[in-house]
Amino acid sequence: MTDVAIVGANGYSGEELCSLLARHGGVRIAGVTSRQHAGKPVGSILPRLKGHPAIRDLAFSNATADDVIKTGAKYAFLALPHGLAAEFALPLLNAGLKIVDLSADFRLREADVFQEFYGEAHAAPELLAHAAYGIPEIWREKIKAATLVASAGCYPTSILLPLVPLLRAGQIVTDSIAVSSASGVSGAGRKADVAYLYAECNESLRAYGLPKHRHLSEIEQELTFAAGEKVVITFVPHLAPMTRGIHTTTFAKPKEGVSLAAIKETLTQAYANEPFVRFGDTLPDTKNVVGTNYCDIAARLDERTGRLILLSAEDNLVKGAAGQAVQCFNLMAGFPETQGLL
């Protein structure tokens, strides 16, 4: 059994991590931290996990790097707000732990881009070059060799999985991309905020964070890597009246002479052997992916406008967060990639 620690486990992503790792079969949860709930039994704060054999004897410890190191864990999952994860990373790495970070702290290659989009200086810029970007379907070999993995964001995952194979194949015009996404309210995190109260979100669909949502930074970074040239897109996220799930619609222009059949063939080949990406003709629906680590993708061509329409759906807390983090961990630790996720 491999010992792991979960730092910041009282949020939605942290709770999902606890659930996935509790039934993983190859790990022991050696420690779970929460500054807010230190000393309390995990099951008392996360009642859906109460009584689980892997959880019932665990209590939250204080969220410090020393506390995590004392657990004896070999791997640490950081489920913290951006800015905090970077404070943990260096001491944990120096102590020999490997890290899967669910925050945004290590997703960007450049500290000045982090400051531009997140409004603060990066706490550990020297580590940025050492972090692997955590989408296994795109960066599998880098993740396997990494000691620090930055698990990709929820919106970026739903956008990059359809687009990266097409950009690598040179099949779409790079300055033609526009994206509209809708996310469940859990994407905002577990916090008391008037904007996310039931009465505010129910029967309401609203855009937010435009024109420069924070996730735009990592989306454009990864699209640029895939295309081999600078890619700038329009991205409009929406808050949808549902608890979890993301549905993304991406618009792009195929290059001259590139048919829908060629687009579909590229995506089919890219994901034919991927256990968690399902490309097909059925239009993605969030109800078919919620609670799973799948991302469903489909493609259509508007013959009237010549515009390509890519559609994708995922669970923002699983493939968009905890599930993807476990998938990355499996690669790092030498487990089957699907362990604990099917």
- Which pLDDT does position 144 carry in this prediction? 99
Whether 332 is covered by a domain: the verdict is no
Residue 66 lies in a domain: yes
User: In this structure, are 117 and 182 located in the same domain?
Assistant: no
Active site residue 154: yes
Positions in the chain whose pLDDT score sits under 70 = 192
Can you give the pLDDT at residue 112? 96
Q: Which candidate in 154, 201, 295, 328 is catalytic? A: 154
Supply the pLDDT for residue 288: 98
Give the integer Cα–Cα distance in Å for 75 and 70. Answer: 12
Segment 273-326, tens digit of pLDDT: 999 999 999 999 999 999 999 999 999 999 999 999 999 999 999 999 999 999
Confirm whether 218 is domain-assigned: yes
Q: Do 197 and 83 lie in a common domain?
A: no
Q: Which residues of 101-135 are buried (b: 16+ CB within 10 A; e: fewer)?
A: bbbbbbbbeeeebbeebbeeebbbeebbeebbbbb
pLDDT at residue 71 in the model:
95
**CATH number of the CATH domain containing 42:** 3.40.50.720
Residue 63: per-residue pLDDT = 82
Angle, helices 216-227 vs 154-168, to 10°: value is: 10
Task: Tell me, yes or no, whether 69 lies in a domain.
Answer: yes
Whether residue 116 is contained in a domain is answered as yes
My answer on whether 30 and 76 are in the same domain is yes
Q: Alpha helices, DSSP H only, in 169-311?
A: 198-201, 216-227, 260-271
Read off the DSSP letter of residue 87.
Answer: H
159 & 307 share domain: yes
Identify whether residues 28 and 165 lie together within a single domain.
Answer: no
User: CB within 8 A of 111, min separation 6: which ones?
Assistant: 121, 122, 125, 128
160 and 309 belong to one structural domain:
yes
Whole-model pTM: value is 0.96
Do 229 and 121 sit in the same domain of this protein? no
In this structure, the answer to whether residues 196 and 49 fall within a common structural domain is no
Residues in the chain: 342
Amino acid sitting at position 222:
E
105 φ/ψ sector (left φ>0, alpha ψ -120 to 50, else beta): alpha
250 φ, ψ (degrees, to nearest 5)? -115, 130
**Domain end point (choices 130, 164, 189):** 130
338 assigned to some structural domain: no
* 329 domain-assigned: no
pLDDT of 70 reads: 94
CB 123 within 8 A of CB 86: yes
The CATH number of the domain holding residue 287 is 3.30.360.10
Question: Which residues form the domain of 185?
Answer: 155-316
What pLDDT is attached to residue 198? 87
Chain segment 176-219, per-residue pLDDT in tens: 999 999 999 998 887 767 888 888 889 999 999 999 999 999 99
End-to-end CA distance of the chain: 19
* Structural domains of the chain, count: 2
Residue 333 in any domain: the answer is no
Task: Using DSSP, state whether 147 is helix, strand or coil.
Answer: coil
203 plus 306 within the same structural domain: yes
How far is the C-alpha of 167 from the C-alpha of 217, rounded, in Å? 17
- Identify whether residues 232 and 164 lie together within a single domain: yes
Q: Which of 130, 163, 182 is the last residue of a domain?
A: 130
Say yes or no: 105 and 160 in one domain: no
Looking at residue 40, its pLDDT comes to 93
> Are 181 and 253 part of one and the same domain?
yes
